[in-house]
């Protein structure tokens, strides 16, 4: 059985193109979700697809970045599938499969490139933030804890637990503010 997995990052994006490609490739069962690919921990349909797969099945995706955005996640997924005796195929990237040594090498290389792209994007974003900060246009998130108020409440005789409860913060945050 060929099992398909499709993913887009946001709810405004469509899964139709991936679904059509997976169906055309002979996928009998397709798992799809609209969730960020940064981590595999909150991808319910991916977990279901991987647990659904049985020995001699093939797990298919349209592109490698639909499956994983980091080399570590990609290798963990491929290793899990391999241990179950499940093959892997990437439709839009011919030769990216677990059927051959070259295919496994390509998976590693393309996974590294995808991770590199994520790192480059993050670096550009941080560069933009630093530039905006220097121009006075970006101040970041406002502080959610007011150390002055915490110290005033403590001076008024309130305990750390009561201060934390009143301000809606953790007790450890109260202790950090008092130590500062």
Catalytic residue positions, numbered: 9
94's CB contacts (< 8 A; 6+ apart) are none
Integer Cα distance of 1 and 165 in angstroms? 55
Integer Cα distance of 151 and 143 in angstroms? 16
Question: Which residue bears the tokens 């953790």?
Answer: 170
Integer Cα distance of 152 and 166 in angstroms? 13
Integer Cα distance of 15 and 126 in angstroms? 30
Q: Is 118 left (phi over 0), alpha (psi -120 to 50) or beta?
A: alpha
Integer Cα distance of 41 and 73 in angstroms? 10
Integer Cα distance of 3 and 49 in angstroms? 7
Compute the Cα dihedral for 51, 52, 57, 59 and give only its sign: negative
């Amino acid at each position: 059985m060929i099992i398909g997995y499709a993913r887009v990052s946001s709810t405004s994006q469509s899964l139709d193109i991936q679904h059509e490609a997976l169906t055309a490739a002979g996928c009998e069962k397709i798992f799809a979700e609209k969730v960020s690919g940064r981590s595999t921990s909150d991808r319910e349909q991916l977990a279901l697809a991987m647990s659904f797969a049985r020995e001699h099945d093939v797990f298919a995706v349209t592109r490698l970045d639909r499956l994983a955005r980091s080399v570590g996640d990609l290798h963990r997924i491929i290793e899990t599938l391999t241990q179950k005796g499940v093959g892997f195929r990437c439709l839009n990237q011919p030769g990216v499969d677990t059927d051959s040594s070259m295919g496994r090498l390509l998976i590693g290389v393309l996974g590294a490139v995808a991770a590199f792209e994520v790192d480059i994007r993050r670096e550009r974003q941080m560069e933009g933030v630093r530039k905006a900060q220097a121009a006075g246009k970006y101040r970041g998130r406002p502080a959610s804890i007011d150390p002055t108020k915490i110290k005033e409440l403590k001076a008024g005789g309130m305990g750390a637990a009561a201060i934390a409860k009143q301000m809606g913060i953790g007790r450890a945050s109260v202790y950090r503010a008092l130590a500062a």
